[in-house]
Amino acid sequence: MNTTTLDAAVAPIPTLKQDATVIGLVGLAHGISHFSHLLLAPLFPVFIREFGLSFSDVGLLMSLFFVVSGTGQALAGFVVDRFGARPVLFAAISLFLVAALVASQATGYTGLMLVAVLAGLGNAPFHPADFTILNQKVSTGRLGHAFSAHGLTGNLGWALAPAFLVGITALADWRTAYLSAAALYAVVLAVLFWQRDKLRTEVAVRHPDAPKGSDLDYLKLPVIWWCFAFFLLSTMTLAVVQSFAPSILEAVHGVSVEAATLTISAYMLCGAFGMLVGGFIAGQTRHSDRVVAWAMTAGAMLLLVCATGWLGGQGTMALLAATGFAVGIGGPSRDMMIKKAAPKGATGRVYGTVYSGLDVGFAISPVLFGAFMDQGWYGATLAGAAVVLMIAVVAALGVGQRTA
């Protein structure tokens, strides 16, 4: 595909300090994006009590968030390629700030729906913006570590949100918690603006002879849809763990709600550590798809053991945490796999399209496996998540074959 060129001269290789600064700034932005995934969910019990809502009502808020985010993410890649990643990133965090302010003043379900829409719009551009910055600004030899740090900070953002929002709610009230979140967004935005010269990217300039509609040529590449399928399937497994693992542990093994919930935090923290290790692996291999396949296969096998219930409550909790580590190892190689599949000049569009599969997976999985949970098929829910992850392995290997 030769419809665009980058309007930039060949840049000198960045120093370690320059790379580390860019990686840190993008990681900060990515962490606040994942924090915003859980801007509403930790306080669902408060909203149910305060506004008389049902579980279906609050569940719809998350579906709304991911539908808006997924739709917007596919489109945001075009905006990033056209106008650069930096202004899009600033606009996204500004939307989070507005969403938190609206949440602090919400008086009912309509206000919460508006928060979900604003936060979904804010979340949409992050992956195309983040990866455009990393791919343009970080030296090739350190990209594996960059992708590792990117995934790690995302997991830390997920871990921070419940502690931040629930903690401040316990000390003051939920409206103060959202005002504090707005202040957090303002601080992050100020830091990124202060270091804005490190985040500038070159835009894709359309060739004057390029035919109309050629910006969509990348959609004709089968490898893009194999990437999309991989993200959709692998995210469905993550959504099962995030949404249902505590309920499964409580129902099958009698684990307390507090301990079961901490298992999710352990999964995320082990996943972050796995990504740290995976960063070194990603930088040392040309076969990113194989690393992803082995990591996901190991995760699927561990989930299958969890599904049997053989290890009891504590053993299952430990194995779920180990699953996070196994899957995390493949994270940086996964992002390298996407980079190799992206045509030159279409980075934002490709990442936007591919990562929208993540939002689709988050939207589909709770509905599908929620039906299993309603029937009391707790082991089958974890086994189903393992099967889906194995299908994701096939998609990863398909990406590798088509990239080669």
- The residue assigned the tokens 């009230």 is 173
Q: Per-residue pLDDT for 215 more than 70?
A: no
Confidence of residue 32 (pLDDT cuts 50, 70, 90): very high
Give long-range contacts, CB 8 A cutoff, 24+ apart: 210-217.
Answer: 210/3, 210/4, 211/3, 214/1, 214/3, 215/3, 215/4, 215/78, 215/346, 215/349, 217/1, 217/3
- Residue ranges covered by each domain of the chain: 14-201, 219-403
Confidence of residue 404 (pLDDT cuts 50, 70, 90): low
Output the pLDDT for position 46: 86
Confidence of residue 210 (pLDDT cuts 50, 70, 90): low
CATH number for domain 14-201, candidates 3.60.15.10, 2.40.50.1070, 1.20.1250.20, 2.60.40.10: 1.20.1250.20
Output the pLDDT for position 5: 40
Q: Per-residue pLDDT for 325 more than 50?
A: yes
| Tally of helices (H runs) and strands (E runs) in the chain | 14, 2
pLDDT in tens, 62-116: 888 988 988 888 788 788 878 888 999 999 999 999 999 999 999 999 999 999 9
User: Structure tokens of 365?
Assistant: 């999985």
Confidence of residue 8 (pLDDT cuts 50, 70, 90): very low
Q: Per-residue pLDDT for 37 more than 50?
A: yes
What Rg value do the Cα atoms of the chain yield, rounded?
Answer: 21
Q: Distance between alpha carbon 404 and the CA centroid of its chain, in Å?
A: 26
* Separation of alpha carbons 187 and 369, rounded Å: 38
Residue 304: CB atoms within 10 Å: 17
Which residues does 190 contact at the CB level (< 8 Å), separation at least 6? Answer: none
pLDDT in tens, 126-146: 888 888 898 888 888 888 888
Q: According to DSSP H, which parts of 84-125 are helical? A: 85-104, 109-123
Output the pLDDT for position 211: 52
Output the pLDDT for position 71: 85
Q: How many CA atoms lie within 13 A of 394 on its CB side?
A: 8
Question: 45-58: string of b/e by CB count within 10 Å (b at 16+)?
Answer: eebeeebebeeebb
Burial of 367 (C-beta count, 10 Å sphere; 0-12/13-18/19+): exposed
User: Structure tokens of 374?
Assistant: 């309603």
Task: Average the pLDDT over 195-219 and give the result.
Answer: 68
Output the pLDDT for position 55: 67
Output the pLDDT for position 6: 43
Hey, CA dihedral for 360, 362, 363, 364, is it positive or negative? positive
Q: How many CA atoms lie within 13 A of 309 on its CB side?
A: 13
* Separation of alpha carbons 129 and 131, rounded Å: 6
Task: Average the pLDDT over 28-56 and give the result.
Answer: 87
pLDDT in tens, 258-296: 677 778 778 888 988 898 898 888 877 788 889 999 999
Do 14-201 and 219-403 fold alike per CATH? yes
Q: Per-residue pLDDT for 7 more than 50?
A: no
Kindly report the CATH number that applies to the domain delimited by 219-403: 1.20.1250.20
